[in-house]
Structure 1
């Protein structure tokens, strides 16, 4: 058990002198609090002596028990560390970011400067309470943002994420024991879950309507890769013999304009299966071209931008195919790829790898409702196994 003790200062010279000054000041009208008689003392995990002064013995005993529990459980935090300003912790966190790409870091910086630091920058990290964060989220939901429009649920969620990551950094660096940003109910955009699942026939109609760009639509609808990934796909990464597309990079739009080539999302490089029926179309498209050339370049030979694809190819094809009432977007073709793969019997791990999800759990969270219920198959397989075991047992007994 951690050693934490209480010291009575009543006979100590510094306390006696402090009390004398306090009495004189009180007679003169001062409302300053009486000097603390009881001092809680302990040694922190760093081996350095610590102390906390309390006016009343019950208060000192309460602090003593709390410190013993924190020290024994390993949840102790130096109270002085908790006085660090949020703004200081936020800058330390941002400077320590290593994995996010340039675009993501720019988004974090913007949200930090626009919404997080103006609210929390001058607060000591230990003074931020769960209810304070909850009230702040309500304000974000109800008040127009810096651009004069009500913030979208996605924007609010990302703003909360930035706060959460700063407070998680504060926990890990020993400034606070728990994060007040955890376990909050966030607004949900109903459209985020509005999946569109095309049938094979609908995909065929969309491909036909896209004309010379039909192969691009086929890749999006059957391989499930993201727009940034397909726009960065190079000829040398189309493995026709092995029927694979090697996905290692993606283009993303830079803030202020232009495109940035970066690693794929979650840094999960992967190989995506290619249907035999799609291989000839891709083969004709890449034949005789250099390995570093883009498979689907824009009109000027440079990487095709999302809006060039959307306005010039995708939206007209959707309209011509009679699918414009479905709310279809290029990204939602990933849902089609997932649903068709699941209907064909693909298991969650295969769908996860194809889509580039971080885990199979994430795939099941998004598409779990599409997987067929296989309880009867399990029961039938158990029946077969049991019957086989009983038959062998009977044969041995005979």
Structure 2
């Protein structure tokens, strides 16, 4: 092998594997000399390709496997050697070859490892991958994606129509971005890239107040009465704040009129047109409170359902489908109750439940439990503006303290 080399040794102490980084001069190597002869002949024939690299950086990665990369000039090789040594020393080393993995490969690997998400959420992620992420990014190498590339893509999501032909809403753009960001986070965790370029991007912000509808007690009662035989279902949605899929999965044995509680442990999800029964969102099983008069009204349907029967069913039996209920029952009831201008939907009755509970004096933890939010911070982010700010109470308390101090000073001056 005979040729001189400069070397840098990198040692991982405390019994761990030793890795080395060095530069090898290939000038005396037979394979290099043969490659140079071919290049020179090709150059005479008019080829414009670059000559073979004389300087080879060699190293052992943390996995103990040998790696190599060639350069034409020694300063280039020395810079690479220094970079590799530093990354190995800091634990930030990534195999350059792993960064060549296509986004499609990484995305499928990420999706296959999802464990905590429900079927509806996974189906939504799948749709986002197939419709928005993979068509754009699928053939890209993960290491080739720059921050500016992601920013350009976000701009396109905001400006161009989505798969439906309509402009994407802000919430949908954010969700698509977060799925892509999760894929790149997986690329970081699997040591394909050192850092994700899908971070710290300005995303569109929706006005949550425009999306929320808060009915009064009178409006909720009018809507429920207009819903006919599904009056109690509307009241359940409007007073308990449970999700649609949770409401249509509620069973007789989970209703306790005496304690005024409805236990929420399962939910139906519409996955590609098929209703599937599974765990509640974020796996937050909970008991929701029932107003006393409303609880008594539920007793007959609980008795009729029996232990394993559904409290609310379709006319022909079985679970209710959202589209059927909304088209045949809910939307006509909204019109009959004179609430068309509010844009109310069955799902938005959760907002009514939250607002009525807060107005009744419920604290943030109670509302969090009732709605099944993962954290109180999430509840405050969505409904924080509904709680009294109590700023006047603070100002009044400060007045009391200040007036007492002033009175004391006046007494001292008078003496």
* Aligned: 1:65 with 2:69: no
Unaligned runs of 5+ in 1: 385-398
Report what 1:310 is aligned to.
326
Report what 1:259 is aligned to.
275
- Asked whether the 8 Å contact 1:36–1:53 carries over to 2, the reply is yes
* Aligned: 1:183 with 2:189: no
| SS at 1:47 equivalent | coil
| SS at 1:287 equivalent | helix
Per mean C-alpha deviation after superposition, the further-off stretch among 356-365 and 301-310 is: 301-310
Equivalent pairs counted in the alignment come to 383
Unaligned runs of 5+ in 2: 1-8, 12-19, 402-415
| SS at 2:292 equivalent | coil
Report what 1:390 is aligned to.
none
Structure 2 CA distance for partners of 1:73 and 1:342, relative to 1, 3 Å: farther
Report what 1:273 is aligned to.
289
- Whole-angstrom distance in 1 between the partners of 2:294 and 2:230: 13
Aligned with 1:293 (options 295, 309, 312): 309
- Whole-angstrom distance in 2 between the partners of 1:140 and 1:37: 46
Structure 2 CA distance for partners of 1:196 and 1:114, relative to 1, 3 Å: closer
Aligned with 2:244 (options 214, 223, 227): 227
- Deviation of the 1:18 alpha carbon: 4.0
Report what 1:78 is aligned to.
95
- Whole-angstrom distance in 1 between the partners of 2:230 and 2:304: 19
| SS at 2:194 equivalent | coil
Structure 2 CA distance for partners of 1:12 and 1:300, relative to 1, 3 Å: same
* Aligned: 1:237 with 2:254: yes
What per-residue deviation string (whole Å, max 9, x for no partner) do you get for residues 305-342 of structure 1? Answer: 21332233322332233222211111111111111222
Report what 1:110 is aligned to.
127
Structure 2 CA distance for partners of 1:322 and 1:144, relative to 1, 3 Å: closer
Report what 2:340 is aligned to.
324
Structure 2 CA distance for partners of 1:250 and 1:343, relative to 1, 3 Å: same
| SS at 1:277 equivalent | helix
What per-residue deviation string (whole Å, max 9, x for no partner) do you get for residues 344-389 of structure 1? Answer: 22222221111111111111111111222246767969x99xxxxx
- Deviation of the 1:204 alpha carbon: 2.9
What per-residue deviation string (whole Å, max 9, x for no partner) do you get for residues 212-232 of structure 1? Answer: 433222211111001111111
Report what 1:282 is aligned to.
298
- Deviation of the 1:236 alpha carbon: 0.7
Per mean C-alpha deviation after superposition, the further-off stretch among 298-307 and 18-27 is: 18-27
Aligned with 1:29 (options 36, 46, 69): 46
Alignment of 1:13-24 (within 5 A): 13-14=29-30, 15-24=32-41
TM-score (norm. length: structure 1): 0.85
Report what 2:386 is aligned to.
370
TM-score (norm. length: structure 2): 0.82
After superposition, the CA RMSD in angstroms is 2.9
| SS at 1:53 equivalent | strand
* Aligned: 1:196 with 2:217: no
- Deviation of the 1:292 alpha carbon: 0.9
Alignment of 1:2-21 (within 5 A): 2=10, 5-9=21-25, 11-14=27-30, 15-21=32-38
- Whole-angstrom distance in 1 between the partners of 2:383 and 2:227: 28
- Deviation of the 1:125 alpha carbon: 1.5
- Asked whether the 8 Å contact 1:6–1:60 carries over to 2, the reply is no
What per-residue deviation string (whole Å, max 9, x for no partner) do you get for residues 256-304 of structure 1? Answer: x342222111121111122223211112332354111111112112212
- Asked whether the 8 Å contact 1:6–1:38 carries over to 2, the reply is no
Report what 2:413 is aligned to.
none
Report what 2:362 is aligned to.
346
Alignment of 1:86-125 (within 5 A): 86-125=103-142
Report what 2:160 is aligned to.
143
- Deviation of the 1:127 alpha carbon: 1.1
| SS at 1:41 equivalent | strand
